[in-house]
Chains A and B, each alone.
Chain A
């Protein structure tokens, strides 16, 4: 076959080349995917699996491996009020960030999902905060939320209000941290939602409009149900991200690990404190696995809840909703 296409007569040395070619054809694919799998096994899979191993031992940061203790580290973490404190803080910060973020992002996406002038400018403009790293975000917002020096303090003073102890009190600290998360991620999520909205066939809106549905009603009855798969996606990513929040609370009061009384210590910060300042690798590893399970669980719950919300909603044309989902999956 080869020779005929090449239009050259077969020669004896071609058999060797053929062999090489066949070898090349058969094994190259393995060779091409191998680097990824080898590296990923070493730096991705091994550490996570080995975390399980570490979590079953007394394991000290400085002194190394100790006795096998079975599930004791898990028991210790789960019965540690600090863990539950961190858990509560994480959930609180997550809710304070995820909910406003989703609402605002959906609103912005809806605004952008019109024939606006300067499309590219607006899209880029809302993405600007995304390029600011969490460390810089925290550094900047620390100044803004400074109890005494920042613009917010100035504003409060102007109205004769007491300064707010942003880094000392529970709720203010959670709000400040959630604000940092929101600032960085709202525009980004708006773009994802915008992409989904643009995939909604225009004629669905048109016929609804003909039926007399006003803008708001169309938004609720068509847009929201039709972008449901994307909403689920955004909720799940926000959840996974929110449960792993570290940089903002760590640097919000860098002298501590989440506040003098742990008032804004998150789970990953708790893990960090266990692993390094408190030097307990065993319990820190157990925490990592617990966190992993929580992430999976919360992911499933977000999924279920978002589904439920939609099912309780007005019935949209089922087929087109499905096609949006398919498009999302493809792109």
Chain B
């Protein structure tokens, strides 16, 4: 921190200061205040920039190497300018593992999970927030309680269940277990409870709207911003998952993550680093696009406490 403040010996000790003194003190205070909250120094920007470089470097470097050749990984200082071989290396990725299949599968999986989670969460969240029914509070409590439980701990029976249903190796084995989350319901409820005035729902009912109609025409429009945020995080979580797809998908019908993991191992003894990193870059691109389009919402979502496991 810029500890430039030469703190005057605690002002309290100055007993009954003269008017002149007081004016000086006031001016000093104002100046100090501005210095304290309004104008961060160069050091702040320097530190932030350094942190940003640290955040961005691995990703950028991956892209640089993937556009050059494997032997460039050990350059000191590290290579920072891209070369011309990205497409060549990317082509090798698709030859080595079923990467395209993995990308498509992950789009399907993440897309289906997102639609499902957002829909069911909005529906249930709206009910908990705005409708009266017996056992509402108890059920809501159940939702909150289950939120804390890491569902990954149930992978063994879940695997047995998928085996029982003969789903192992198919996409629904990944999609169905991701179809609802307690967090989603909680999140939508918290949002909707303040956003929709009770009178609005009453009014719709008075107008003879059915419950479903009210949900569609009153709740959904009001819920949209929260739905968007929930959709973003659900999509990302599904896209980045590895353990579960590893268990229930097969190497020939992979998700983008399991395909990338196989690619990384495929090099074996003398890995083609440029190719492996090209795979990593390709796997990140869809989320990078999402990040560029909706990064603000991601930031806002996290800052509003949108996210949790």
Query: Which residues 4-43 of A have a CB within 8 angstroms of B?
Result: 5-6, 21, 24-26, 28-30, 32-33, 35-37, 39-40, 42-43
B124-165 interface bits toward A, Cβ cutoff 8 Å, 1 = contact, 0 = none: 101110011100100100010010011111111110110000
Cβ-neighbour of A50 out of B3, B47, B70, B154 (below 8 A): B154
Rounded to whole angstroms, the CA-CA distance of A187 and B50 in the bound complex is 13
Interface size of A by CB at 8 A reads 115
Cβ of A191 under 8 Å from chain B: yes
Q: Which of B1, B2, B146, B261 contacts A45 (CB 8 A)?
A: B146
Binds B, one of A81-89, A239-247, A305-313, A314-322: A239-247
B218 within 8 A of A: no
Q: Is the interface of B mostly helix, strand, loop or mixed?
A: helix
In contact, B44 and A116 (Cβ under 8 angstroms)? yes
Pick from A28, A54, A206, A237: contact of B211, CB under 8 Å: A28
- Whether a CB of chain A sits under 8 angstroms from the CB of B75 is yes
Nearest-neighbour CB distance to chain B for A71, whole angstroms, equals: 17
Q: A131-B290, A195-B304 are known contacts. Are A241 and B55 too (CB-CB below 8 A)?
A: no
Q: Does B166 contact A (CB under 8 A)?
A: no
Size class of B's contact patch? 35 or more
Is A170 part of the binding interface, using a Cβ–Cβ cutoff of 8 Å?
no
A218 to B51, CA, bound (A): 23
**Cβ of B257 and Cβ of A135 under 8 Å apart?**
yes
B139 and A139 contacting across the interface, CB-CB below 8 Å = no
Q: In the complex the two chains form, is B74's CB within 8 Å of A51's CB?
A: no
Partner among B61, B73, B136, B302 whose Cβ is within 8 Å of the Cβ of A146? B73
Please tell me if the beta carbons of A131 and B288 are within 8 angstroms of each other in the complex: yes
Task: Tell me whether A188 and B302 are in contact in the complex, defined as CB-CB below 8 angstroms, given that A47-B158, A115-B40, A237-B308 are known contacts.
Answer: yes
Q: Which residues of A contact B36 (CB under 8 A)?
A: 205, 209, 215, 218
* A66 within 8 Å of B (CB atoms): no
A297 at the interface (CB under 8 A from B): no
Alpha-carbon distance A244/B309, docked complex (angstroms): 11
Residues of chain A from 246 to 299 with CB closer than 8 A to chain B in the complex = 246-247, 250-251, 254-255, 268, 272, 275-276, 281, 284-285, 288-289, 291-292, 295
A328 and B305 contacting across the interface, CB-CB below 8 Å: yes
The distance in angstroms between the C-alpha atoms of A35 and B54, with both chains bound, is 44
- Interface pair B284/A133, CB less than 8 Å apart: yes
Closest to B151 in A: A44
Question: In this assembly, does B229 line the interface, its C-beta being within 8 Å of a C-beta of chain A?
Answer: no
Most buried by B among A24, A143, A202: A143
User: Bound complex: CA of A206 vs CA of B35, how far in Å?
Assistant: 12
* A48 at the binding interface (Cβ < 8 Å): yes
B110 to chain A, nearest CB (A): 11
Chain A positions 113 through 141: 1 when the CB is less than 8 Å from some CB of chain B, otherwise 0 = 01110001011111111111111111111
What residue in chain B is nearest A38 (Cβ atoms)? B180
A33-B128, A40-B146, A268-B152 known; A195+B305 contact, CB < 8 A:
yes
User: Once the chains bind, are A24 and B211 in contact (CB under 8 Å)?
Assistant: yes
Choose from A151, A268, A291 the contact partner of B76 (Cβ within 8 Å): A151
A79 within 8 A of B: no
Closest to B193 in A: A330
Question: 1/0 per residue A205-230: CB within 8 Å of B?
Answer: 11001111111101100000000000
Give the residues in chain B near A120, CB-CB below 8 Å. Answer: 296, 299
CB atoms of B152 and A36 under 8 A apart: no
B139 to A133, Cβ gap below 8 A? no
Tell me the bound Cα distance from A143 to B58 in angstroms: 10
- State which of A126, A143, A215, A219 has its C-beta within 8 Å of the C-beta of B55: A126
**Is A149 a contact of B73 with CB atoms below 8 Å?**
yes
Complex contact A5–B309 (CB within 8 A): no
A183: Cβ under 8 A from any B Cβ: yes
Quick check: B265 and A51 within 8 Å, CB to CB?
A: no
**Is there an interface contact between B180 and A247, defined as CB atoms closer than 8 Å?**
no
- Asked if A135 meets B299 with Cβ closer than 8 Å, knowing A36-B185, A47-B154, A125-B55, the reply is no
Given contacts A36-B185, A247-B243, contact A136 B33 (CB under 8 A): no
Contacts of B176 in A (CB 8 A): 43
In the complex, the answer to whether A154 meets B74 with C-beta atoms within 8 Å is yes
Beyond A40-B146, A151-B78, is A135–B261 a contact (Cβ under 8 Å)? yes
The answer to whether the Cβ of A157 comes within 8 Å of any Cβ in the partner chain is yes
Q: When the two chains form the complex, which single residue of A36, A104, A210 contacts B180, counting CB atoms closer than 8 Å?
A: A36
State whether A157 touches B76 (Cβ < 8 A): yes
Write the A146-179 contact mask toward B (1 if CB under 8 angstroms, else 0). 1011110111011000000000000000000000
B273 interfacial by beta-carbon distance below 8 Å: yes
Contact A281–B180 (Cβ < 8 Å): no
**Contact (Cβ within 8 A) A51 B153:** yes
The reply to whether B59 and A125 form a contact with Cβ atoms under 8 Å apart is no
Q: Does A93 contact B (CB under 8 A)?
A: no
Docked pose: A108 CA to B50 CA in angstroms: 11
Cβ of A48 and Cβ of B154 under 8 Å apart?
yes
For this complex, 13 residue pairs linking A to B, each with C-beta atoms less than 8 Å apart, are A6-B208, A32-B211, A50-B157, A108-B48, A125-B56, A127-B295, A150-B74, A210-B29, A212-B7, A212-B10, A240-B150, A276-B247, A285-B157
17 more contacts with CB within 8 A, not counting A151-B61, A187-B55, are A29-B127, A33-B128, A39-B179, A48-B151, A124-B291, A124-B295, A127-B298, A135-B283, A136-B283, A139-B263, A140-B277, A151-B78, A187-B51, A206-B33, A209-B32, A209-B33, A292-B153
Give 4 nearest A-B pairs by CB, closest first. Answer: A47-B154, A133-B240, A28-B211, A154-B76
Q: Residues on B close to A: CB < 8 A?
A: 1-3, 5, 7-8, 10-12, 29, 32-33, 36-40, 44-45, 47-48, 51-52, 54-56, 58-59, 61-62, 65, 70-71, 73-78, 120-121, 123-124, 126-128, 131-133, 136, 139, 143, 146, 149-158, 160-161, 176-177, 179-180, 182, 185, 190, 205-208, 210-212, 215, 236, 239-240, 242-243, 247, 257, 260-261, 263-265, 273, 276-277, 279-280, 283-284, 287-288, 290-291, 295-296, 298-299, 302-305, 308-309
